[in-house]
Structure 1
């Protein structure tokens, strides 16, 4: 089973490099890495080139389209369409993945299942202070470090940091009372399952697109499986100037429609791209 890690990004080269550094520390490496770039400028291109020079053994492909505003779903569909991997793992380019992250997603992969994890959110001062060595030496995943930064304020965040033995955390994932929703910052599925529902809805911008996609996967028979506590991921803080309350409101109607009608196929989806066999 060939795997690919798809990383979405937009004009955040520092965060992207920190994310890529966390990929180099994976106990099980993905077979390839795809940077799904929603229209970043030259600084991001330069950062990717510099990173590839530093870590030539990590296979990276850069999928880019022009900047037309927030079109994450479009570039993700393009990344899926051009992938030759069987299994796809999705994160955002401001997420640092624990060394067990890829291995855990692959461990529980099944054709009739999508996996969805969660995020450990750093505040802005901590985000700005994170260094490359913090990532490479694993400090950002250390419970003592996270506690010192004030990140572990909630019991659930402590669990997300892997505070208990893996069998206990895996059991908690089965019984924890939250919805099995797709999380684009920590999710995975077989490529064939994604293509079957025509990928993400490209008419949906920020807010709700992940949930609508997960509902359609579930409607197609691919049910969600939580990796809430066993696939740790640290999220770097950033502004969200692209939030549009009116679009978010419209997206809620699409989510309700997909849930009530059993909808599977996205009209504006991956079929608009040339899909590799």
Structure 2
């Protein structure tokens, strides 16, 4: 497996501390840990901070809470702030409503390659299984248990993932999910990170993929690797999706590489080594 100076796991969350707790417990169960874990919090109440503080003593790596005021769904902005906070070479990105397979981090590091970014998928858990996992505070999922969908996404098979990485939908910008991606930090800096014109649910992950591809990178697939189990919840409001679709179409048509409102606005104001571990807010 490759080695890095540093790798960071960024976990986005909003007002679901019970799910975040399971996610963080599954991070603790990783066969290979990242060098730091950064919670990208889009305006949660104090309950989320309490969960993080309760788990902090259990973490053998730095656990950072990056928070911003709740001004509506601003996932792009909080991800940019979290990326700015990190000084790690490699950024692995997930959402806080996921339970990670024990080899999740190991798989992503194995798939990393200069000149590429990695896009994974997820396994959907039904409502019954999700409620059971939450009530029992259970952070381990077995691939054959009842209540799981997406059968082929449940398995971590190293040799098969290496074969599929450069063969599975490598040019399809819709064959990815922002809840399971990984990037070299220098590549995110090159394209100015996430585009903060995106408000509300949808397409910010596809748009950054378009700009990374336009910059000359290739997309690798985390297929039979980087396994995550998605805790059930009702669908979020998709009212902004038509506007976000228009932003994505614009990036495609204009072959955009760099967004105007992105990551660099925080880099100028952030010195990662000076941040407190509890919170960073702009």
TM over 0.5: yes
Structure 1 unaligned regions, length at least 5: none
Asked whether 1:99 is paired with 2:102, we answer yes
Asked whether 1:160 is paired with 2:153, we answer yes
SS in 1 for 2:8: strand
- Which of 63, 68, 74 pairs up with 2:66? 63
Using the TM superposition, give the Cα deviation of residue 221 of structure 1 relative to its aligned residue in structure 2, in angstroms. Answer: 1.2
RMSD: 1.8
- Which of 256, 261, 267 pairs up with 2:260? 267
SS in 2 for 1:268: coil
Asked whether 1:143 is paired with 2:143, we answer yes
Residues 159, 169 of structure 1: 8 Å contact kept? no
CA distance in 2, matches of 1:59, 1:28: 14
SS in 1 for 2:37: strand
Alignment correspondent of 1:134: 138
Alignment correspondent of 2:219: 224
Residues 83, 276 of structure 1: 8 Å contact kept? no
- Which of 225, 234, 246 pairs up with 1:239? 234
Aligned residues: 262
Using the TM superposition, give the Cα deviation of residue 259 of structure 1 relative to its aligned residue in structure 2, in angstroms. Answer: 1.5
Alignment correspondent of 1:89: 92
CA distance in 1, matches of 2:169, 2:221: 11
CA distance in 2, matches of 1:14, 1:133: 8
CA distance in 2, matches of 1:233, 1:186: 8
Alignment correspondent of 1:193: 187
CA distance in 1, matches of 2:221, 2:112: 12
Alignment correspondent of 2:124: 121
CA distance in 1, matches of 2:169, 2:213: 18
SS in 2 for 1:134: coil
CA distance in 1, matches of 2:59, 2:107: 25
Structure 2 unaligned regions, length at least 5: 273-282
CA distance in 2, matches of 1:116, 1:143: 21
Using the TM superposition, give the Cα deviation of residue 143 of structure 1 relative to its aligned residue in structure 2, in angstroms. Answer: 2.1
CA distance in 1, matches of 2:49, 2:84: 21
Asked whether 1:13 is paired with 2:17, we answer yes
Q: Where is the helix percentage greater, Structure 1 or Structure 2?
A: 1
CA distance in 1, matches of 2:99, 2:92: 14
Alignment correspondent of 1:52: 56
Using the TM superposition, give the Cα deviation of residue 260 of structure 1 relative to its aligned residue in structure 2, in angstroms. Answer: 2.1
Using the TM superposition, give the Cα deviation of residue 91 of structure 1 relative to its aligned residue in structure 2, in angstroms. Answer: 0.2
Alignment correspondent of 2:277: none
